[in-house]
Amino acid sequence: MNKLTTYTIKELHKIYRDKLLTPTSFVDLCLQKVKQTSELNAFVTVTEDEAENHGVESEKRFYIDKKSRMLDGITFGIKDNFCTSNITTTCASEMLKNFVPTYDATVYARLRAAGACLIGKCNLDEFAMGAGTVDSIFGPTRNPWGYDKSNDDWRISGGSSGGSAVAVSSGACVAAIGSDTGGSTRNPAALCGIVGLKPTYGLVSRYGLIPLVNSMDVPGILTRTVEDAATILNCIAGPDFLDSTTIKKEFDPVSITDDFDMTKIKIGIPKEYYCEGMSQEVIDTWRYVADLLENQKAVLKSVSLPHTSVSIAVYSILNQCEVASNMARYDGLEYGFRAEENYSTEELYASTRSQGFNDVVRCRIFAGNYFLLSRNYDKYFVKAQKLRRLISNDFKNIFNGDDHVNILLTPTTLSDAPLYKDFMSKHNRDQCAFQDYCTQPANMAGIPAISIPIRLSKNNLPLSVQLMGPFLSEEILLNVAKRIENIVKFPAVAL
């Protein structure tokens, strides 16, 4: 039995206080777990020295200062597209393979200020472009569920924050930070059977998060329990003057109560979320949770979000345009990979960028520039932004008005974790299109969403559902999620 997967933040702090374990010994256990599960390939860099130092600091605060911080002795992993000073930050790309930032991302700084201990930088799809964590120069990340060393039939972990999800799912970390642009935190959370929270856009600072789509990226939280997700959120959320796209209002920490009043909650079931190709098991799980919530005396009703089906195409346009723009800085002059060309700047740039980026990145840049050409700008980019407003208005309409609902219940992914070889038979864009269907619209509108594991499929793989709410409704989402969690009692992976 994997004891590590049973620890929550609250329990750990109690154990530390009761001296049944110390922070440093717990850090060691986690590091051991990383070694034992190294084939899962969840980590790009394991920060052993830092982890141990952080553990020592936490220990001092616990036992000598007798004043511990919110996350003292809590081990965590962070996706390798968050800048951490003096620790390589690669984005799983040749381009940044040797890039060592000289500053900390705000999310990382806040976690460290709360005493958390960094186990390592987690694997991802190159520059967060993908839905499987299979497009990394460090190799794919394997799903611990159904993993058998003896055969080659392993499952993908989902993506692009697959490494972070596996780190938490396998017990190597108590919590992990990912990023979510089209579902990149919720997707791997669903496939790995853990909780994945996507906060409201602007609630958590993006300073230090190497961007994919600036107008949709948010740092995501991956934990095994809803309560832990709430604790991490309370630590990292709040305005940041270094990021002009954070909401300036003071953050009101969320609180989870076991006696949350469900009678006041109206839950919408959007009919458009049943799409072609969705597995029957996923639909059944969706139904199961709907019934469960109704038994808890919540009010359920069917709603319509008419523009759901266009979200993926709109996302493809906006994603590629922003990528073309964000990647323009990688030229090898100030940092990153630099090709050997010396003839002209243009030749240097072209060689650096074609050698430093994988096909997925390069193709997105190429397509993005096509859509941004002055002759195409109105036809594609502005059109996509207009459709984005329609998608966002769909949500606004059902969350407001006389007939409004408080939250929405939908599936997270269309199936349980696919086999690696099946997943690889499709092109990156098609994979994303398929898997992101249910998660993408929340990024489009900037609203918060959480994925919670419910039960196992007949393949013994996790099946999850997703809750979405209006801007800044994390407290409701987390409380409803907690109620579901209490009832379903989803098991941890046996490693």
Partner 1 sequence: MWYYKIHRNLNKKVKPIIWTRYHSIVADRQWQSVVGLEVHAQLNTESKLFSGAENTFGGLVNNCVSLFDAAIPGTLPVLNRKCVELGVKTALALSCRVNEVSTFDRKHYFYADLPAGYQITQQRAPLASDGVINFQVFTPGVHKKPYKKSSKIKQIQLEQDSGKSLHDDELKRSLVDLNRAGVPLIELVFEPDLEDGEEAAALVKELILIVQRLEACTGRMEEGALRVDANVSLRRIGQPLSTRTEIKNIGSIRGVAGAIRHEIDRQRSILESGGTILNETRSWDATNKVTVAMRDKEVVQDYRYMPEPNLPPLRVNLKTKNDTQDVISVPLIQDQIPELPEDTRKRLVQEFQLRPEAAIQLVNEPILLEYFLEISANKERNPTKVANLLLNDLLTALNQNKVNIDHCPVTSKQLIELSDLLLQKKINLDMCRQILDELVHNADEDISPSRLLKEKGWSMITDEAELTKLCIEVLENNPKLVKQYKEGKKKVYRALLGIVVKSSENKIDMAAVSKIMDDLLKK
Partner 2 sequence: MKFKFAFITFCKVKYIQILSRNIGGKVPTTPVNTLEKYQNKKVVVDKNTLNLLERLSLVKCDTTKGTKVLEDSIAFADKILHINTDNVEPLYSVLEEENLHLRTDKVTQGNCQKDILKNASITEDDYFVAPPGNIPLQDIKAEEICELTK
Scan for tokens 């459709």, then name that residue.
387
Span near partner 2 by CB under 8 A; candidates 64-72, 157-165, 173-181, 311-319: 311-319
| Options 62, 82, 315, 399; binder of partner 1; rule CB under 8 A | 82
Site string for partner 1, 144-163 (x = CB under 8 A): --------------------
What 3-state class would DSSP assign to 180? strand
Residue 314 binds which one of partner 1, partner 2, none, with CB within 5 to 8 A depending on kind? Answer: partner 2
- Site residue total, partner 2 (CB under 8 A): 88
Q: Which does 100 bind (CB under 5 to 8 A by kind): partner 1, partner 2, none?
A: partner 2
170: nearest Cα among 51, 36, 55: 36
Contacting residue, 208, 356, 446, 469, with partner 1 by CB under 8 A: 208
Binding range to partner 1, per CB under 8 A, among 37-45, 139-147, 278-286, 334-342 = 334-342
List the catalytic residue out of 33, 58, 68, 79: 79
DSSP 8-state code for residue 417: P
How many contiguous H segments (helices) and E segments (strands) does the chain have?
Answer: 17, 11
In the window 379-408, what residues touch partner 1 (CB under 8 A)? Answer: 381
Does position 345 bind partner 1 by CB under 8 A?
yes
Our finding on whether 302 is near partner 2 (CB under 8 A) is yes
**Which tokens sit at 238?**
């709040």
Q: What are the residues whose beta carbons fall under 8 Å from the beta carbon of 157, sequence distance 6 or more?
A: 40, 42, 132, 133, 141, 142, 143, 163, 165, 166, 188, 191, 192, 417
Using DSSP's 3-state secondary structure scheme, residue 175 falls into strand
DSSP states of 332-362 as a string? SSSSS---S--S-HHHHHHHHHHHHS-HHHH
Site string for partner 2, 190-229 (x = CB under 8 A): -----------xx------------x--------------
Determine the Cα–Cα distance for residues 157 and 192; give it in Å rounded to an integer: 6
Q: Which does 201 bind (CB under 5 to 8 A by kind): partner 2, partner 1, none?
A: partner 2
Q: Which amino acid is at 295?
A: N
Nearer to partner 1, 2 or 376 (CB): 376
Binding partner of residue 97 among partner 2, partner 1, none, CB under 5 to 8 Å per kind?
none
Looking up tokens 């003071």 gives 250
Q: Residue 25, Cα to own-chain centre: how many angstroms?
A: 28
Site for partner 2 in 317-356 (CB under 8 A): 317, 320, 324, 332-338, 341-351, 353-354
Binding partner of residue 207 among partner 2, partner 1, none, CB cut-off 5 to 8 Å per kind = partner 1
- Interaction between residue 304 and partner 1 (CB under 8 A): no
Among partner 1, partner 2, none, the one that 140 touches (CB under a kind-dependent 5 to 8 A) is: none
**Nearer Cβ to partner 1, position 225 or 352?**
352
Contact set for partner 1, span 248-277 (CB under 8 A) = 248
Pick one of 2, 88, 215, 351: the residue that binds partner 1 (CB under 8 A).
Answer: 215
E runs forming strands in 389-461: 407-411, 449-456
160 a catalytic residue: yes
Active site (annotated) includes residue 85 = no
Of the residues 184, 316, 415, 473, only one is catalytic, namely 184
**Which residues, listed in sequence order, are joined to residue 42 by a DSSP beta bridge?**
none
Quick one: what does residue 388 bind among partner 2, partner 1, none, with the CB cut-off 5 to 8 Å set by partner type? partner 2
- DSSP assignment letter at 269: E
C-beta separation of 125 from 133 below 8 A: yes
State the minimum distance, in angstroms, from the CB of residue 315 to partner 2: 10
Q: Is 392 a catalytic residue?
A: no
Identify the residue among 15, 70, 137, 247 touching partner 2 (CB under 8 A).
247
Amino acid at 156: I
Handedness of CA 207, 211, 214, 217 (dihedral sign): negative
Q: From partner 1, partner 2, none, which one binds at residue 374 (CB under 5 to 8 Å depending on kind)?
A: partner 1
Give the one residue of 63, 260, 274, 335 binding partner 1; rule: CB under 8 A: 335
Closer residue to partner 1 in complex, CB, 188/208: 208
Answer for which of 374, 378, 401, 458 binds partner 1 (CB under 8 A) is: 374
Entry field: residues in the chain: 495
Residues 27, 10: Cα–Cα separation, whole Å: 16
Query: What torsion, rounded to 10 degrees, do the Cα atoms 186, 189, 193, 199 define?
Result: -60
Distance linking the first and last C-alpha atoms of the chain: 7
- Binder of partner 2 out of 3, 6, 60, 313 (CB under 8 A): 313
Residue that has been written with the tokens 């990382």 in this structure = 108
Q: Is 363 in the site for partner 2 (CB under 8 A)?
A: yes
> How far apart, in whole angstroms, are the C-alpha atoms of residue 354 and residue 324?
14
d(CA 79, CA 60): 27
Pairing of strands 175-180, 43-46: unpaired
Of 138 and 371, the one with the shorter C-beta distance to partner 1 is 371
Cα–Cα dist 285/464, whole Å = 8
Dig out the tokens for 303 from the structure.
């709603």
Beta-ladder partners of 461 = none
- Give me the active site residues, please: 79, 160, 184
Interacting residues with partner 1 (CB under 8 A): 82-83, 91, 96, 99, 101-103, 105, 206-211, 213-215, 241-245, 248, 321-322, 324-325, 327-331, 333-335, 342, 345-346, 349, 369, 372-374, 377, 381
